[in-house]
Structure 1
Amino acid sequence: MQDSKGPGPLDGIRVVEIATFIAAPGGSHLLASQGAEVIKVEDLVVGDPLRMFGSSRNGMSGWFANLNAGKRSLCMDIASESGREVMSDLLATADVFVQAYRPGVAERLGIGEADVRRRNPNIIYASISGFGRDGPYSRRPAYDAVIQAWSGIAAVQGGDGEPQFVKSFIPDKVTSLTWTQAVCAALFDRERTGRGEHVELSLLDSAVSFMWPDSMMEQVVLADDADHRPNLLADYRLLSCRDGYVAVMPLTDGHWKGVADAFDRPDLLVDPRFAEAGPRAAHFGEMIDTLGEVVADVDRDDVVDRLIAADVPVAPALRPEEIATDAQVQHSGVIREVDHPIVGPIRQHRPAALFAGGVPELRHAVERGTDTEAILTELGRTPETIAELRAAGIVKQAP
């Protein structure tokens, strides 16, 4: 499956981003992959620290190279008077502005919603914070680990034992998906009404909302006479084979018969705990334990082959080094090898959604300040003014 090239459905939309790490930049990268022009504004001292985290080459991490592909970079002191003037002019041209400051900071810098909307009344203004605009935690700093703990993710992952982190930045990435979906809804509403919108969300709200329907299922139904059952996910686990692990999920009667046939276990079909879907749900943990016994002495790939032949939902638990070479992953092109001009050869993901009208070919993630002079020129600054701004240490152009 190869994605066709085209302008993307957000062609013509300009997004300005002031944020670091994942929650906001990951979302603006997604918008860029759908055709939006994204301008990343970074400070003069460090910029986005994500450049320095994880495997890197020539001062840029692979992590940054993936999450910031498709963006232009403006490096500027936005706290200076001249920097504020440039920001005001830039935001006057934007369709979307996303900032991830703690509440109150954007206002102190003169780029709060009211400030921006005075010059651009129809802008979609997105505010992302750790805990929200107000409330007892609103001024606290927050990163993904803090929200994994506060939202219950770590407790759910640990089950009855010690809380554990999910080894993926789930709150950050869920927030990315949530704010971009909300911004697209706001852009659609603006097409109909001409009205700009303020999209506000926190990492905590995004994580709790994401987790609530399934991970917190035992906390939902409050009536005393309800049929209260343990959380189904408490017994959710991978099964150990002779040389690896598999995920098996035989939810229907046909699936269960497939398991019995694949391993020549007719006794599974007459066991009253498992013979029908209702009892299997009631004895879910025992079903998983029994499946574990069935596959314990069988090679991983043999288990997978047998159950695929029986049309039972199954997967090998692939290691990270196995993902890029998996047959379906290679066929879909979701991971591809590209030659990055700074990092060198890298594996890069493409966003999962494809469009019949095509998606843009994203430019590589760039050095901080690569597009500073070009953007200033577009905003009407003369070469002499740009030179003065550089000399004063207000803007920086990458070499």
Structure 2
Amino acid sequence: MTGPLEGVRVLEVGNYVSSPYAGQMLVDLGAEVIKVEAPPEGDLFRHFGRPPTPISPLFANCNRGKRSISLDLKAPGSVERLLGVVATSDIWISNWRTGVADRLGLGDEVLEAANERLIRIYVTGYGPEGPNADNPVFDLIVQAASGLSQATARANTPQAQPGFPVDKITAMMAAQSALAALYARSRSGRGERIDISMLAAASYVDFIDLFANRTFVDGAPEDPLNHHALSPRVLQAKDGWIAVAPVSGQAIRRACEAVGHPEWATEIRQAPGQTQLLLRFFELFETVIPTQTTAHWLALFAEQDVPASLCLTMDEHLDDPQVRVQEIYRMTRWPEIGQVRTVRYPAEFASVGRIGSVAPPPAVGQDNDEFLMDQP
């Protein structure tokens, strides 16, 4: 499958999520991504969670359609072999700890000398400088260090967010930066060094809303604990859960009319602040939503054009007609795995349509013969 990045070659050097997921997005956009792995096991995420399958689903979802070369970069001659591939590449993405590249002989000056057009993206936990630069980092650690776990505290208890939100945010920033650098190179003819820390990426995304009450520094925050970020909640009906979004005065008025209490709109809008407004909205709606089914309420909300949805299970989401119309997921078969569901890239390009690789992840070093002709 072609895409807007057809003809772009990416070298991805790293494990787990932040670097591989950035590479996955570039694959889905049409780039050729060559994954550089250490023998014999390769990316440590291949067997994350000790899956019964040859690879883990998490690894599969970050590495579809890539190539793989296997190199022990501490072995004599391996760095030189890799630099041969560097010379023909457009983008380098790594998530090594600070200092590792220099110790291996693959520092930024070496990469730039091998290919002045190369865009070099370095993903680290805390960035290349500062008192924490050399510290080991994983997603949960940056959730804590970025204030995210405290900003989403419930009952005065910091919360760990599920999944790998910081890794994924950082990967998106890395892929976005790669595209910006490609555009800049089209004018300058030269590559560029780009440093992206997980801490900075998490801060950039969290700041827009979780840190809203720390934006205007000269004014005392309305809500020091930022309960506003935690005020929205889902509502339980007789047979399930629904979400309602009171995003405007008009939405609040229509929602109140839908549940048969138009008088509530005035009371809700008289709340002294946005946090109190949301809290009062949900307090009132929690008294009435349990009295009827989800279908009953969703029909009334639809009549009033109120933003609302059934809280779908994962399987219900997969079978949702809207999801099917958009072909968000695709089914395929992979050797040794069987039937596999993949997810497409969310953007649709008029010239190429819906894109996203459905090819399986590579075996460790499967492309050595093509890219490393003298590799034993």
TM-score, length-scaled by structure 1 = 0.87
Q: Gaps spanning 5+ residues in structure 2: where?
A: none
| Structure 2 CA distance for aligned equivalents of residues 130 and 278 of structure 1 | 40
1:46 Cα offset (Å): 2.3
Pair 1:296–1:156, CA change in 2 (3 A): farther
Paired letter, 2:16: F
Superposition pairs for residues 86-125 of structure 1, below 5 Å?
86-125=81-120
Establish whether residue 297 from structure 1 lines up as the match of residue 256 from structure 2: no
Look up the match of 2:338: 344
Report deviation, 1:97.
0.6
- Give the one of 238, 242, 248 matched to 1:252: 248
| Deviation per residue, 1:188-237 (Å, 9 max, x gap) | 0000111211110111111111101201111221114x673463213122
1:227/1:16 CA distance change after superposition, 3 Å? closer
**1:173 counterpart = 2:196:** no
SS at match of 1:321: helix
Counterpart of 1:329 in structure 2 is: 323
Query: Is the partner of 1:346 in helix, strand or coil?
Result: strand
1:394 counterpart residue number: none
Q: Aligned partners of 1:159, 1:22: CA distance in 2, in Å?
A: 28
TM, length-normalised to structure 2? 0.93
**Share of identical aligned residues, percent?**
29
Q: Partners in 2 of 1:337 and 1:50 — Cα distance?
A: 23
Q: How far is the alpha carbon of 1:317 from its aligned partner?
A: 1.9
Residue of 222, 225, 241 corresponding to 1:228:
222
Aligned match of 1:320 in 310, 314, 318? 314
- The answer as to whether partners of 1:75 and 1:369 remain within 8 angstroms in 2 is yes
Q: Does 1:50 align with 2:45?
A: yes
Q: Answer whether contact 2:332 2:358 (CA < 8 A) is retained.
A: no
| Residue 143 of structure 2 corresponds to residue 148 of structure 1 | yes
**Aligned AA (1:176):** A
Task: Using the TM superposition, give the Cα deviation of residue 126 of structure 1 relative to its aligned residue in structure 2, in angstroms.
Answer: 0.5
Return structure 1 stretches of 4+ with deviation > 6 angstroms.
Answer: 277-281
Give how far 1:57 is off. 4.7
| 1:175 partner letter | T
The alignment covers a number of residue pairs equal to: 372
**1:132 paired residue among 115, 121, 127:** 127
In 1, the alpha carbon distance for the partners of 2:356 and 2:245 equals 37
Counterpart CA distance in 2 for 1:17 and 1:247 is: 40
Cα distance, 1:55 vs structure 2: 7.8
**Aligned-partner SS, 1:214:** coil
8 Å contact kept, 2:258–2:300: yes
Match of 1:393 in 2: none
1:24, distance to aligned residue in structure 2 (A): 0.7
When residues 279 and 213 of structure 1 are mapped into structure 2, their CA distance, relative to the original with a 3 A threshold, is: closer
Matches of 2:268 and 2:246, distance apart in 1: 14
**Cα offset for 1:250?**
2.4
> Which residue of structure 1 lines up, in the alignment, with residue 214 of structure 2?
219
Indicate conservation of the 8 Å contact 1:272/1:279, yes or no.
no
| Amino acid across the alignment from 2:259 | F
Superposed displacement of residue 279, structure 1: 7.1
Cα-to-partner distance string for 1:282-323 (whole Å, 9 max, x where unaligned): 522111211222212222333223212321011222222322
**1:209 aligns to 2:241 (yes or no):** no
Q: Secondary structure at the match of 2:181?
A: helix
Which has the higher mean CA deviation after the structures are superposed, 206-215 or 235-244? 235-244
Contact 2:37 2:43 in 1 (8 A): yes
Q: Deviations over 1:93-148 (max 9, x none)?
A: 11001111111100111111101111211210000111110111111111111111
Matches within 5 A, 1:317-396: 317-358=311-352, 359=355, 361-376=357-372, 381=373, 385-386=374-375, 389=376
Cα distance in 1 for partners of 2:43, 2:324 equals 31
Asked if 2 retains the 8 angstrom alpha-carbon contact of 1:62 and 1:343, the reply is no
CA contact (8 A) 1:171 1:203 kept: yes
- What SS does the aligned partner of 1:351 have? coil
Q: 2 CA distance for matches of 1:299 and 1:362?
A: 39
Q: Tell me how far apart the structure 1 counterparts of residues 221 and 163 of structure 2 sit (CA, whole Å).
A: 34
Q: Which residue of 2 aligns with 1:13?
A: 8
Residue-by-residue CA offset, 1:236-279 (whole Å, 9 max, x unaligned): 2222222322221123343233223322223224x34337x997
> How far off is 1:360 after superposition?
6.0
Q: Secondary structure at the match of 2:339?
A: strand
Q: Which amino acid is the alignment partner of residue 81 of structure 1?
A: P
Question: Unmatched 5+ residue regions in structure 1?
Answer: 390-399
RMSD between aligned residues: 2.1
> 2:295, 2:268 → 1: CA distance?
28
The separation in 2 between residues aligned to 1:54 and 1:308, in whole angstroms, is 42
DSSP-derived class of the 1:158 partner: coil
